[in-house]
Copies of this chain bind each other. A is one copy, B any other.
Amino acid sequence: MLKFDKLSLNVPETTKPRVVIIGGGFGGINLAKKLSGKDFQVVMFDKQNYHGFWPLLYQVATAGLEPDAIAEPLRKLFDEDYEDFHFRLVRVTGVNPAAKTVQTLIGDLQYDHLIIATGTKPNYFGNQQIQKYAFPLKTIPEALNLRSQFLQSFEQASITKDPATRQSLLNFVIVGAGPTGVELAGSLAEMRKHVLPGDYPGLDFSQMNIYLVEGLDRVLPPMSPEASEKTHQYLADMGVNIKLKTLVESYDGEIVTFKGGEQIPSQTLVWAAGVTGSLIEGLPPEIVARGGRLPVNEFNQVQGYSDIYAIGDIAFMKTEKYPNGHPGVAQPAIQQGQHLAKNLRRQFRGEKMEPFEYFDKGSLAIIGRSRAVADLPGKMHLSGFFAWVIWLFVHIYYLIGFRSKLIVLSNWIYRLFTYERGTRLIIRPFVRKEDKAAQEFVEKNEMS
Contacts and interface: CB of A to CB of B under 8 A. Distances in A.
Interface string A155-189: 11011111001000100000000000000000000
A429 B3 CA distance: 15
Nearest to A48: B426
A169 B2 CA distance: 10
A198 B74 CA distance: 12
A2 B428 contact: no
Contacts of A255: none
8 pairs of A and B residues whose beta carbons are closest in the complex: A68-B423, A2-B438, A75-B199, A79-B198, A89-B155, A8-B161, A4-B441, A1-B267
A445 interface: yes
A141 B430 CA distance: 12
B423 A71 contact: yes
Nearest to A422: B68
A425 interface: yes
A93 B444 CA distance: 9
A159 B422 CA distance: 37
A34 interface: no
Nearest to A105: B445
Give the copy number: 2
Given A66-B68, A79-B198, A156 B425 contact: no
Interface string A273-302: 000000000000000000000000000000
B10 A158 contact: yes
B2 A152 contact: yes
21 contacts: A1-B156, A1-B268, A2-B152, A2-B438, A3-B165, A4-B437, A7-B159, A8-B159, A10-B158, A10-B159, A10-B160, A47-B445, A47-B446, A67-B427, A68-B425, A72-B423, A73-B425, A75-B199, A91-B447, A140-B425, A403-B414
Contacts of A158: 10, 88
Contact of A156 (B2, B73, B431, B445): B2
A159 B90 contact: yes
Interface in A114-146: 140-141, 144
Contact of A49 (B10, B47, B89, B151): B151
Contacts of A9: 159
A410 interface: yes
Given A2-B437, A2-B438, 5 more contacts: A6-B162, A68-B422, A71-B423, A89-B447, A140-B427
A249 interface: no
A198 B165 contact: no
A328 to B, nearest CB: 22
A260 interface: no
A265 B235 CA distance: 59
Interface string A346-364: 0000000000000000000
A156 to B, nearest CB: 6
A80 interface: yes
B1 A79 contact: no
Contacts of A400: none
A103 to B, nearest CB: 12
Contacts of A10: 158-161, 202
Contacts of A414: 403, 406
A378 interface: no
A229 interface: no
A407 interface: yes
Interface string A394-426: 000000000100110010001000001011111
A25 B199 CA distance: 19
A71 B423 CA distance: 8
Interface in A192-250: 198-202
